[in-house]
Amino acid sequence: MERVAPHGAFVRPMRAEDVLAVVSIESEAFSTPWQAETFTGLLGRDGIELLVLEDPAEGVVGYAVLWCVLDQGELANIAVTPALRGRGLGARLLEAVLDAARGRGVRSLYLEVRESNVAARALYASSGFSEMGRRRRYYRRPVEDALVLRLVLPAP
């Protein structure tokens, strides 16, 4: 399941040897980052897609975590290393997540995003996600509301 992204980067399943790079990106992207043990514990679990975006020159530069239960999915985490943002890599990674969700029969895909994260909200809107709710004071450091977004995927 290798998909080529802009600039020669490609999306593939996460492996154990990717976890340290993923944790580094996670720590740069989120104020309450997941730990290595979390990612390691998710490897190989049913209903979970762990994807990385790998650049031939840079190594792992992004990742995504997708939970799938029956016909519903949640994009739990997605991030690209800050130095490479704004180059279409996040969009390619999100496209791979959507492909994986469709492949698992997901019909409704959900996610939470910080209200202030304008770039992420624009990316999700460009992929067809729409706001369906709000979780008050969901995020810490700083405290902020999360917008709940949903994308309805067509039946296969």
Render pLDDT for 46-72 as a digit per residue (tens, 0 to 9).
999 999 999 998 899 999 999 999 999
Confidence label for 7 from pLDDT (cuts 50, 70 and 90): low
Tell which wins on pLDDT, 2 or 125: 125
Confidence label for 4 from pLDDT (cuts 50, 70 and 90): very low
Tell which wins on pLDDT, 110 or 82: 110
User: Which residues does the annotation mark as catalytic?
Assistant: 112, 124
CATH code for position 87: 3.40.630.30
pLDDT for residue 45: 95
Domain that holds residue 121: 3-152
For the entire predicted model, the pTM comes to: 0.90
* Averaged pLDDT for residues 128-141: 91
* Averaged pLDDT for residues 30-59: 94
DSSP string, the chain: --EE-GGG-EEEE--GGGHHHHHHHHHHH-SSPPPHHHHHHHTT-TTEEEEEEEETTTEEEEEEEEEEETTEEEEEEEEE-GGGTTSSHHHHHHHHHHHHHHHTT-SEEEEEEETT-HHHHHHHHHTT-EEEEEEEEEETTTTEEEEEEEEEPPP-
The number of folded domains in the chain is 1
